């Protein structure tokens, strides 16, 4: 056991004007030599807790001890990385480091050693003089960490360091922090990624300001031991089967994994195809529970399988044509080629994923296909309408959901709905029906007059989806649609999407959640502006095993990383 | 049509629901209305002057008495020496000092020319010139009465049409209608696209089937209505200030509408050019200052140097200021209004066209 | 997101976060250095500190000419006598007027409405006969009252021209006209009567407010918005170090901009500089205290660039433009507004600036003004320190 570097007892935090306490009776301890995880849905109080430890907010009640004193007594030994990394975008990498070195009182004689170590550690040495604002998301995050570490702290507070960062960078970051822990510092890591939480020694699970769980993640996982099963070898459509399974009373959660379906039961799993009413070839096997299963279980299970939204959606009969087509799409900015010769065709009724590290060119490709960027070369079409010659028709047949919440935060929920109904040219009667139905499906009735910006993130995301599909488009564009939302909301979101696809809609999605990639029928992996692999999730996993034989039963994330690394190796060899 | 209606309604709500937009909407115009209408006067009232009387006679006392009685002057203060005079002017305690020499009294009564010395503070040259004129008028009337001089030439009869008492507020209210409308319309439209860009909603707008001209119209109509409303406030407020409105309200609304459109075009242009709200703010500020200063509001355009005058042709406020003064005070007829209207129409078309082009060009 | 909205609500309790570190000059210099780097890389700095002052100086120096130039007038001569023609000729020959002649008022009164002419001078019928008889009927001057200031000036010039003409004819006839009081005016500091001088000087005051208040309020609000403030506050940095690090670079930047403006004013606009550089420096420094203090206070309270910019305009720019006395005489304003001017720092700056440029070093005028400025500065900075606590609440 390490030394306790931060401890909280019976902490309550109340903001003036707020009805509920932001934090209620929290007990927490951070010890050196391990990563302490802080997990919870958006708005659970994670940031507030970290800010109290960083002496940025005074607690309302309770005792807080940081590095042996009140918060703020020993700021030299505290490293803090806020959500937006705290970098100055108009300072270069080395200037940011120098600034933090001075601010933390690192003696000048130690600068060279510290900077060399950190730049090496973060692999940023090549970009020493690049401005902070010009770095990619992953690089910013590493620089933010380097700045927090410039004078080796005893306590490191990381507030959602991995939001919006691709799997490769995420893994590198985790490895870096683990190395620090071995050097004897204490780390508090707040995250919405449950696979990260699973790797922590101690996890604190927050929900609505309350502590739901504290302890080793396996304790939570043990609660659902024997209740998880995987179904494989079934005939027919996997989404339809998932819906059926989720609608069962004894199934509280279910996810797609390529051609298999993973189920969480509220009782010991029924490992029998007959009990589950499956067809003959199906096999049901018990599976090892994950932290996420325990989490969902604690939150009372995920949503049912049938999407009311999809039930009311029109049937889309696209015939044999392609819903989305990219032919040699290329985009250059000056000398820089952001997307090079993208080629794919997506039939109706499929989910297509664009995956790739930050800055690889997937956003550029995505934006060309929904008409936000004009391609330098090549052409794209949506629902048979060429983007160059029939832009407005193409735009009318697509629904778009942006990466961050991009509805009008100052407008009320109803005003947002009215606007999007009108913007997509629904007639008065159509609009009224569409809006009424949307309000029912998404249960927005109670919040119609609230400003959209004040709603919790989960609701915002529902509203975004509602606005994007109000005109019942045949094609949906989703740009990291569930970034930052909690697993339950993410399940609900995918239930709707699965339902819509069953009705014949087509979905193009970019994501950093590899679990979401599993929902895709087909995936394009984009790296360094090029399309490096294409195929179903299972195909990609097999490909990964070919290039990296050490992998056994690779996850989508493993496959992603292996394929990207293989590409790097090939490029190096060629050079 | 449905699309257009939707975006207009949305823009209107965005303007009214956002507390920050409400600030730009109401606070600056109100403060300007209150401060400007009373503070912006080029008259001189309550000026402090001093005098150094070496004559010891009655004529100087009579002049000083009349100065004291005038509301143009506040304190008329006795100075004891030239040194005191110098220090009082240096320290800006008085704007002018009147010096009566030893012979002054005698000279006024005799036929020798009597000279009254007036020393003025050239640092405040505008006020000093006006003060000098007041003093001259008083001095010569006293002189004339004292000698009961007969004159072959009577002074001219000065009259002012449209504003018989040369009341400054009669100028300020119509002129402010022009200035405040320009400040509000510019700052509101300048934020509209820039804010959507910064908040990320602009992409959402561009992937919807809304066409560029629909977005443009939708964005321009609410600030347009705000500007027209703000302009009309002055028509309503005029009687409260005792300012007449002699012309046709219809013509005023017509002129105001095209003025608001031209301003909206400028604001939209700045907005399409900016990626952040800060840039939009700077842009509208850099634009507002010349629009106000070169409109003819603070100083007549005819007084500007030749090379600067052509620049005022692209200042929309130049045309509307003349129109507003004309319609408020001079019952300006349609033919004159039209002459001022077409440049506004051209400006509106040019700026809106340029913004529409920038809309797309700045996406890349 | 949610937590941020919560954070903007004021705290209900009284617990405060206390600094225990000692003031550290090295941290201060690190922060200042960073600020200088940022300032020098931000294009908006150059716009605000150099381009905008240039535009303002040009506009005020050239655009706002209050000295009347040529006025277009209509001259209605209803009399054919030699005297009437002679007076008409005097108007034609004057540099002040551009004359459009007519036989009747009806011919040109529409031009007064359309603004083509600004005044009418009417020489009535029987003018010549009257002159011979010794009681000439008065000429009439009709001005466009919609612009009262110009109307006053035009009337003055038109009447002055007539009086001169009359005096000239009287001298010829050996009969001086009118009373015998002559007024000899002398304008100290500005014998050429150039209004441009005081306008250019006034625009320097505006430049100081733009850099000191507007720019400064924006940069700190930006640190709050971008989240860098949060990261900085978790370092051992003290609030006082942070504030000083903001003040110093903008103080220096303002001084550079003032120097630039001064050079322009003297070389391009021919504004005299009769005082000493030292006095100008001291006055500028004294004014920058409240200007920067206001900027810091605004950003500390608003924490948001948009609101900061609006607040800066309302509390800094507009009052300086309208209520500092450089455009409009303070004594002519209604009493309540005069009272407001006492809390506008620029009110104390403008007379000092005018004096140091046009009159010279009048320390008896500078000192009370400097004292007032320093007083405001200290008050505003004190308030800023009070408001800018180390807390995100």
Number of alpha carbons in the 13 Å side-chain half-sphere of residue C340: 17
* Residue of chain A with shortest Cα separation from C41: A90
- Local confidence band at B328 (pLDDT 50, 70, 90 cut-offs): very high
CA C314 to chain centroid, in Å, comes to: 15
ipTM of the complex: 0.82
CA B254 to chain centroid, in Å, comes to: 21
**Residue A243 sits in the same domain as residue A192:** no
Owner of token pair 């420094």: C285
A454 in contact with B, Cβ within 8 Å: no
Q: What does the alpha-carbon distance between residue A159 and residue A541 come to, in Å, rounded to a whole number?
A: 32
Chain C environment of B299 (Cβ under 8 Å): 63-66
Number of alpha carbons in the 13 Å side-chain half-sphere of residue A233: 9
Chain B environment of A367 (Cβ under 8 Å): 203
Asked whether residue B154 is domain-assigned, the answer is no
**Residue C329 sits in the same domain as residue C207:** yes
Question: In this complex, do B125 and C193 lie within 8 Å of one another by their Cβ atoms?
Answer: yes
Q: What does the alpha-carbon distance between residue C271 and residue C350 come to, in Å, rounded to a whole number?
A: 15
Across the interface, of A55, A85, A95, the residue whose CB is closest to C37 is A95
Collapsing DSSP to helix, strand or coil, B61 comes out as helix
pLDDT under 50: residue ranges of chain A: none
The one-character DSSP state at C23 is P
A466 in contact with B, Cβ within 8 Å: no
Asked whether residue B191 is domain-assigned, the answer is yes
**Residue C156 sits in the same domain as residue C222:** no
Domain of B343, in residue numbers: 2-40+167-361
Domain of A253, in residue numbers: 223-306
Owner of token pair 């195809």: A273
**Residue A170 sits in the same domain as residue A153:** yes
**Residue B275 sits in the same domain as residue B357:** yes
Question: In this complex, do C6 and A22 lie within 8 Å of one another by their Cβ atoms?
Answer: yes
Q: What does the alpha-carbon distance between residue B349 and residue B357 come to, in Å, rounded to a whole number?
A: 12
Instruction: State the CATH number of the domain containing residue C112.
Output: 3.40.1710.10
Owner of token pair 């959606």: A313
Across the interface, of C29, C30, C42, the residue whose CB is closest to A90 is C42
**Residue C167 sits in the same domain as residue C253:** no
Contact A337, A528 (CB under 8 A): no
Residue B193 scores a pLDDT above 50: yes
**Residue C55 sits in the same domain as residue C76:** no
Q: What does the alpha-carbon distance between residue A506 and residue B97 come to, in Å, rounded to a whole number?
A: 88
Domain count for chain C, please give it.
2
Task: For helices B168-199 and B19-39, give the axis angle rounded to 10 degrees.
Answer: 160
Q: Which of B13, B208, B275, B276 to mutate to test the interface with A (most CBs of A within 10 A)?
A: B208
**Residue A199 sits in the same domain as residue A231:** no
DSSP A226-272: T-EEEEES--S-HHHHHHHHHHSTTEEEEEEETTEEEEEESSS----
- pLDDT at residue C8 in the model: 41
Residue A567 Cα, gap to closest chain B Cα (Å): 29
Question: In this complex, do A423 and B9 lie within 8 Å of one another by their Cβ atoms?
Answer: no
Among C172, C206, C231, where does a domain finish? Answer: C172
Q: What does the alpha-carbon distance between residue A565 and residue A533 come to, in Å, rounded to a whole number?
A: 12
**Residue A231 sits in the same domain as residue A162:** no
Inter-chain contacts counted by CB atoms under 8 A, chains A and B: 94
Beta bridge partners of A349: none
Contact C295, C312 (CB under 8 A): yes
- Local confidence band at B318 (pLDDT 50, 70, 90 cut-offs): very high
Give the count of beta carbons closer than 10 Å to the beta carbon of residue A302. Answer: 23
Asked whether residue A433 is domain-assigned, the answer is yes
List, in order, residues 6 or more apart from B47 with CB less than 8 Å away: B72, B73, B74, B95, B96, B127, B131, C329, C331, C332
Q: Among B278, B254, B76, which Cα is nearest to B191's?
A: B278
Q: Report residue B95 as tokens.
A: 């704007």
Inter-chain contacts counted by CB atoms under 8 A, chains A and C: 135
Q: Report pLDDT digits (tens) over C9-46.
A: 444 443 445 555 677 788 888 888 888 888 888 777 78
For chain A, what is the radius of gyration of the CA atoms? 24
Domain count for chain A, please give it.
3
**Residue C52 sits in the same domain as residue C127:** no
B282 in contact with C, Cβ within 8 Å: yes
Q: What does the alpha-carbon distance between residue B206 and residue B222 come to, in Å, rounded to a whole number?
A: 20
**Residue A164 sits in the same domain as residue A277:** no
* Residue of chain A with shortest Cα separation from B212: A392
Q: What does the alpha-carbon distance between residue B314 and residue A530 come to, in Å, rounded to a whole number?
A: 49
Q: What does the alpha-carbon distance between residue A202 and residue A311 come to, in Å, rounded to a whole number?
A: 43
**Residue B32 sits in the same domain as residue B174:** yes
- pLDDT at residue A59 in the model: 86
Asked whether residue B339 is domain-assigned, the answer is yes
The one-character DSSP state at A126 is G
- pLDDT at residue A58 in the model: 85
List, in order, residues 6 or more apart from B253 with CB less than 8 Å away: B228, B232
Contact C103, C77 (CB under 8 A): yes
Q: Report pLDDT digits (tens) over C318-364.
A: 888 888 888 888 888 888 888 999 999 999 999 999 999 998 899 99
Asked whether residue B336 is domain-assigned, the answer is yes
- Say how many residues make up chain A: 575
Q: What does the alpha-carbon distance between residue B76 and residue B100 come to, in Å, rounded to a whole number?
A: 14
Instruction: State the CATH number of the domain containing residue B117.
Output: 3.40.1710.10
Asked whether residue B156 is domain-assigned, the answer is no
Domain of C90, in residue numbers: 71-172
**Residue B128 sits in the same domain as residue B196:** no
**Residue B275 sits in the same domain as residue B339:** yes
Chain C environment of B107 (Cβ under 8 Å): 180
Q: Report pLDDT digits (tens) over B352-362.
A: 999 888 877 76
**Residue B236 sits in the same domain as residue B98:** no
**Residue A50 sits in the same domain as residue A62:** yes
Chain B environment of A427 (Cβ under 8 Å): 2
The one-character DSSP state at B211 is -
Q: What does the alpha-carbon distance between residue A401 and residue A482 come to, in Å, rounded to a whole number?
A: 10
pLDDT under 50: residue ranges of chain C: 1-16, 393
Q: Report residue B27 as tokens.
A: 């606070």
Q: What is the mean pLDDT of residues B251-262?
A: 94
* Residue of chain B with shortest Cα separation from A332: B364
Among C140, C172, C204, where does a domain finish? Answer: C172
Across the interface, of A333, A371, A427, the residue whose CB is closest to B207 is A371
Contact B344, B259 (CB under 8 A): yes
Give strand ranges (E) for chain C.
71-77, 97-102, 119-123, 140-144, 181-188
A90 in contact with B, Cβ within 8 Å: no
Residue C204 Cα, gap to closest chain A Cα (Å): 30
Q: What is the mean pLDDT of residues B335-349?
A: 93
Q: What does the alpha-carbon distance between residue B293 and residue B300 come to, in Å, rounded to a whole number?
A: 10
C391 in contact with A, Cβ within 8 Å: yes
List subunits contacting chain B, requiring 3 or more Cβ pairs under 8 Å: A, C
**Residue A86 sits in the same domain as residue A205:** yes
Domain count for chain B, please give it.
2
Asked whether residue A10 is domain-assigned, the answer is yes
Q: What does the alpha-carbon distance between residue A254 and residue A249 come to, in Å, rounded to a whole number?
A: 12
Asked whether residue B89 is domain-assigned, the answer is yes
Q: Report pLDDT digits (tens) over B110-149.
A: 767 788 899 999 888 888 888 988 888 888 888 777 765 5
Q: What does the alpha-carbon distance between residue A39 and residue A281 come to, in Å, rounded to a whole number?
A: 39
A418 in contact with B, Cβ within 8 Å: yes
Contact C11, A16 (CB under 8 A): yes
Q: Report pLDDT digits (tens) over A277-328.
A: 777 778 888 888 888 888 888 877 778 778 888 888 888 887 778 889 999 9
């Amino acid at each position: 056991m390490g030394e306790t570097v931060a401890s909280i007892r019976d902490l309550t935090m109340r903001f003036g004007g707020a009805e509920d306490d932001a934090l209620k009776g929290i007990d927490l301890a951070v010890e050196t030599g391990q990563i302490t995880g802080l997990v919870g849905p958006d708005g659970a109080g994670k940031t507030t807790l970290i800010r109290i430890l960083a002496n940025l907010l005074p607690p309302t009640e309770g005792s807080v001890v940081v590095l042996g004193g009140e918060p703020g007594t020993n700021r030299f030994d505290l490293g803090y990385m806020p959500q937006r990394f705290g970098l100055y975008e108009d300072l270069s990498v080395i200037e940011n480091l120098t600034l933090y070195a001075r601010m933390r009182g690192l003696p000048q004689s130690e600068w060279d050693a510290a900077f060399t170590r950190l730049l090496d550690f973060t692999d940023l040495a090549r970009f020493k003089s690049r401005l902070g604002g010009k770095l990619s998301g992953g690089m910013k995050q590493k620089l933010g960490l380097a700045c927090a570490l410039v004078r080796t702290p005893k306590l490191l507070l990381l507030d959602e360091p991995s939001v919006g960062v691709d799997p490769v960078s995420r893994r590198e970051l985790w490895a870096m922090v683990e190395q620090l822990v071995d050097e004897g510092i204490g780390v508090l890591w707040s995250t919405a990624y449950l696979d990260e939480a699973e790797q922590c020694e101690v996890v604190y699970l927050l929900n609505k300001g309350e502590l739901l769980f504290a302890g080793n993640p396996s304790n939570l996982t043990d609660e659902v031991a024997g209740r998880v099963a995987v179904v494989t070898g079934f005939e027919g459509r996997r989404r339809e089967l998932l819906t059926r399974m989720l609608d069962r009373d004894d199934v509280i959660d279910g996810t797609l994994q390529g051609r298999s379906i993973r189920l969480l039961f509220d009782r010991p799993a029924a490992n029998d195809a007959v009990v589950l009413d499956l067809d003959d070839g199906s096999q049901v096997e018990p599976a090892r529970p994950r932290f996420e299963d325990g989490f969902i279980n604690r939150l009372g299970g995920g949503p049912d399988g049938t999407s009311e939204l999809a039930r009311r959606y029109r049937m889309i009969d696209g015939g044999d044509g392609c819903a989305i087509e990219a032919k040699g799409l290329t985009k250059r900015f000056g000398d820089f080629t952001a997307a090079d010769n993208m080629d794919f065709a997506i039939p109706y009724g499929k989910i297509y994923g664009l995956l790739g590290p930050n800055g690889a060119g997937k956003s550029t490709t995505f934006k060309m296909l929904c008409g936000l960027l004009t391609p330098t070369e090549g052409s794209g079409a949506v629902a048979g309408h060429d983007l160059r010659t029939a832009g407005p028709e193409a735009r009318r047949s697509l629904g778009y959901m942006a990466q961050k919440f991009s509805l009008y935060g100052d407008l009320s929920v109803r005003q947002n709905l009215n606007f999007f109904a009108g913007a997509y040219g629904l007639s008065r009667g159509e609009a009224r029906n569409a809006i009424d139905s949307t309000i029912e499906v998404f249960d927005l009735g109670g919040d119609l007059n609230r400003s959209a910006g004040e709603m919790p993130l989960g609701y915002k995301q529902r509203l975004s989806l509602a606005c994007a599909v109000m005109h019942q488009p045949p094609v949906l564009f989703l740009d990291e649609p569930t970034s930052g939302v909690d697993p339950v909301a993410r399940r609900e979101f995918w239930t709707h999407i699965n339902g819509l696809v069953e009705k014949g809609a087509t979905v193009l999605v970019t994501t950093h959640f590899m679990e979401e990639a599993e929902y895709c029928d087909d995936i394009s992996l984009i790296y360094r502006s090029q399309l490096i692999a294409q195929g179903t999730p299972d195909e990609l996993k097999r490909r990964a095993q070919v290039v990296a034989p050490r992998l056994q039963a690779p996850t989508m994330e493993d496959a992603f990383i292996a394929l990207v690394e293989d590409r790097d190796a090939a490029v190096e060899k060629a050079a | 049509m449905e699309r257009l209606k939707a975006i207009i309604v949305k823009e209107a709500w965005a303007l009214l629901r956002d507390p920050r937009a409400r600030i730009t909407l109401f606070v600056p115009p109100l403060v300007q209305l209150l401060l400007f209408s009373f503070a912006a006067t080029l008259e001189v009232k309550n000026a402090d002057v001093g005098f150094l009387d070496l004559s010891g006679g009655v004529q100087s006392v009579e002049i000083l008495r009349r100065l004291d009685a005038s509301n143009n002057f506040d304190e008329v203060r006795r100075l004891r020496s030239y040194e005191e005079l110098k220090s009082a002017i240096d320290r800006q305690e008085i704007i002018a000092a009147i010096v009566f020499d030893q012979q002054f009294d005698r000279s006024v009564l005799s036929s020798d020319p009597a000279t009254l010395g007036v020393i003025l503070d050239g640092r405040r040259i505008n006020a000093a010139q006006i003060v000098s004129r007041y003093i001259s008028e008083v001095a010569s009337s006293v002189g004339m009465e004292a000698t009961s001089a007969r004159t072959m030439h009577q002074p001219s009869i000065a009259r002012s049409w449209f504003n018989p008492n040369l009341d400054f507020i009669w100028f300020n209210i119509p002129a402010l209608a022009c200035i405040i409308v320009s400040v509000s319309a510019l700052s509101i439209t300048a934020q509209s696209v820039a804010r959507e860009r910064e908040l990320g909603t602009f992409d959402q707008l561009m992937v919807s089937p809304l066409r560029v001209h629909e977005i443009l119209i939708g964005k321009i109509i609410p600030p347009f209505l705000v500007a027209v409303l703000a302009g009309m406030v002055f028509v309503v407020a005029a009687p409260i200030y005792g300012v007449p409105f002699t012309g046709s309200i219809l013509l005023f609304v017509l002129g105001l509408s095209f003025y608001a459109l031209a301003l909206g075009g400028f604001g939209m242009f700045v907005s399409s050019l900016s990626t952040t709200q800060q840039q939009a703010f700077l842009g509208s500020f850099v634009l507002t200052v010349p629009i106000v200063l070169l409109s003819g509001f603070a100083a007549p355009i005819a007084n500007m140097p030749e090379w600067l005058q052509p620049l005022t042709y692209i200042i929309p406020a130049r045309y509307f200021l003349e129109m507003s003064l004309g319609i408020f005070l001079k019952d300006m007829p349609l033919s004159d209004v039209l002459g001022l209207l077409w440049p506004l129409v051209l400006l509106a078309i040019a700026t809106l066209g340029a913004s529409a082009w920038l809309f797309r060009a700045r996406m890349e | 997101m949610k937590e941020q909205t919560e954070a903007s609500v004021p705290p209900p309790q009284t617990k405060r976060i206390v600094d225990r570190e000692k003031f550290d000059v090295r941290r201060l210099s690190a922060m200042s250095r960073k600020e200088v780097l940022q300032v020098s890389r931000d294009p908006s700095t150059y716009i605000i500190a150099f381009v905008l002052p240039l535009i303002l100086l040009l506009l005020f120096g050239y655009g706002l000419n209050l000295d009347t130039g040529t006025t277009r007038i209509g001259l209605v001569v209803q009399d054919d006598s030699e005297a009437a023609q002679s007076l008409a000729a005097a108007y034609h020959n004057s540099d002040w007027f551009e004359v459009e002649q007519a036989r009747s008022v009806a011919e040109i009164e529409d031009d007064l409405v359309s603004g083509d002419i600004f005044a009418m001078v009417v020489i009535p019928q029987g003018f010549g006969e009257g002159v011979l008889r010794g009681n000439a009927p008065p000429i009439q001057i009709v001005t466009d009252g919609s612009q009262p200031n110009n109307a006053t000036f035009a009337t003055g010039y038109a009447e002055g021209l007539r009086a001169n003409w009359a005096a000239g004819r009287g001298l010829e006839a050996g009969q001086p006209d009118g009373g015998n009081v002559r007024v000899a005016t002398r304008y100290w500091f500005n014998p050429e009567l150039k209004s441009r001088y005081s306008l250019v000087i006034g625009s320097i005051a505006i430049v100081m407010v733009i850099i000191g208040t507007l720019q400064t309020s924006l940069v700190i609000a930006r640190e709050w918005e971008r989240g860098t403030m949060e990261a900085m506050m978790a370092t051992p940095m003290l609030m006082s170090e942070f504030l000083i690090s903001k003040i110093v670079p903008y103080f220096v930047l303002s001084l550079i901009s003032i120097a630039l403006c001064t050079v322009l004013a003297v070389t391009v606009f021919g504004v005299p500089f009769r005082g000493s550089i030292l006095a100008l420096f001291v006055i500028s420094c004294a004014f920058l205290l409240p200007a920067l203090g206001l900027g810091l206070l605004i950003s500390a309270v608003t924490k948001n660039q948009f609101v900061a910019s609006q607040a800066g305009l309302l509390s800094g720019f507009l009052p300086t433009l309208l209520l500092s006395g450089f455009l409009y005489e303070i004594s002519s304003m209604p009493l309540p507004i005069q009272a407001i001017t006492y809390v506008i720092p620029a009110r104390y700056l403008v007379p000092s600036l005018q004096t140091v440029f046009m009159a010279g070093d009048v320390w008896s005028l500078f000192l009370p003004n400097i004292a007032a400025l320093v007083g405001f500065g200290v008050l505003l900075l004190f308030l800023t320190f009070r408001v800018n606590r180390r807390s995100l609440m």
